[in-house]
Amino acid sequence: MWKFVAVFAVFSMANGLEHIDDSLINKNVQRTIDLNSQLVKIGGTITIENTGEGSVASYLLAIEDPDSFSSITVQDSQKNPLKIEQFRARFQGPERIAFKVHLRPSLEPGKTTTIIFESFFTNSLKFCPKCVTQKEKQLVKYEGNYYFYSPYVTKTQKTDVLVNSRVVEKYSKLKPVSQTDSTITYGPYTDIEQFARDSLSVHYENNGPFLSVSRLQRTIEVSHWGNIAIEENIDLKHTGALLKGSFSRYDYQRDTVANHHSIRSYVTVLPALAHSIYYRDMNGNISTSNVRTHKDYIEVELKPRFPLFGGWRSSYTLGYSVPSSRYLFRKPSGEFLLKVRLIDHVFDDMAVEDLETDIVLPVGVTDIKVKAPYEVKRLDDKVAYKYLDTIGRTVIRLSKQNLVEQHIQDVEISYNWNTHMLLHEPILLFLALFSLFIAVIIYVRLDFSIAKPEHSKKE
């Protein structure tokens, strides 16, 4: 008997299974599907009821579309973040992503509690039609689920679908349903079974910027002389409906209103203390940018050399420096702690397909420890050589795919470093100049001529 239980436990862990507590029910779900941007944001409030006889410490959230899923946040009714653990499971059908939410405090029998969740999905909107001309509007189609996808029974549920336009070509109608301006309301629906599915679709106009970062190479160079240099090499792609026909510069400049789905510029946000900002591409410096300083941040309006339409690409480099005093600290134990963002703001509602962040540490660091805010892939460390380096600097390399703004969080790196290493490069420079000075003196003193000097002949 015990052998069977042990084998089943190992099998469950290996397959990412998690026990579903049937004593929990979703008493009420108020869900919102936000389709205003290129991202699909699904969130809302869940009122959970414990109908069993014992207390329950956790709740399971299932993700219906794992291929497009990017991020999720869960809070209690007071908007305090709750601890969540990700795992993969086969509740029904193919393997899916799920999250175990730790309730605080545990839910007692007969009691209810409310949690607030918000999830983000990329590449969930399909263009219909797939190609449009320069003057045509961009129509997209969203396909989802009428019901809240859950491993628990849902007693009552209501869903609001938000779009950024009153132009809704068509939407599915499972009664009761109503439309008010740019909001479509489904429900309330009652007595919904576990993992219930019924296809929902909305075909509407969305001329928002469909802009993705296909590749982001972020380099953070740390110096104990008081400066941190940050450089980002960014590959952009307009992921909207493809441009049909040729591009007319004349029509574009004459009728700016008709160019709904093109991207002329966008705004990126930098830290308030950023300085020495530069913006360039492979052709050199790009002067079509504006910098606006605010109290808590700096806005940089970036304008590519040409407007972007569906399928068009662009690449550029953005760099700046910040004082290290805001990001580099020393612990009482003598260890140094570096807290920098793994990824920073590129544009609003951004979608980053592939990120690699390289953190270049000072010469001579030891006992390096990395603490990421979420699951990332750590690539093999490498060694970089800068000016006057003889030992080389350790480079921490971190990688992740499918990121959104909610991934803008700090990565913590702690290490030991001898402060005497501050004198490493000045001493090298001094020795180099001293050696050159001695060599010049010796060279001047030496006589390389074949003939004897005139004064020697006279003697």
- pTM confidence score: 0.86
SS3 424: helix
DSSP structural state of residue 403? E
pLDDT of 165 reads: 86
pLDDT of 5 reads: 35
Question: So where are the chain's domains?
Answer: 25-205, 211-420
For 56, half-sphere exposure in the C-beta direction (CA atoms, 13 angstrom radius) is 24
pLDDT of 451 reads: 65
On whether the CB atoms of residues 364 and 424 are closer than 8 A, the answer is yes
pLDDT of 242 reads: 92
Write the single-letter amino acid at 184: I
Mean pLDDT of the chain: 89
State the average pLDDT over residues 299-311: 90
pLDDT of 12 reads: 40
**Tokens at residue 411, please?**
């990565």
Rounded Cα distance between 7 and 57, Å, is 25
Closest CA to 197 of 258, 146, 233, 141: 146
Q: Express each pLDDT in 40-75 by its tens digit.
A: 999 999 999 999 999 999 999 999 998 999 999 999
pLDDT of 231 reads: 97
Hey, which CATH number is domain 211-420, 2.60.40.1730, 2.60.40.420, 3.90.1170.50, 3.40.630.30?
Answer: 2.60.40.1730
Phi/psi of residue 438, each to 5°? -65, -40
pLDDT of 258 reads: 57
Rounded Cα distance between 387 and 424, Å, is 12
pLDDT of 133 reads: 85
- Among the ranges given (169-178, 244-253, 439-448), the one the predictor scored with the smallest mean pLDDT: 244-253
25-205 and 211-420 share one fold: yes
DSSP structural state of residue 308? B
Contacts of residue 315, Cβ cutoff 8 Å, sequence gap at least 6: 233, 234, 235, 236, 281, 282
CA angle, 339 then 391 then 416, to 5°: 35
Architecture of the CATH domain 25-205: Sandwich (2.60)
Strand boundaries in 122-265, DSSP class E: 125-127, 131-132, 139-145, 154-163, 168-171, 177-180, 183-192, 199-205, 211-223, 227-238, 242-243
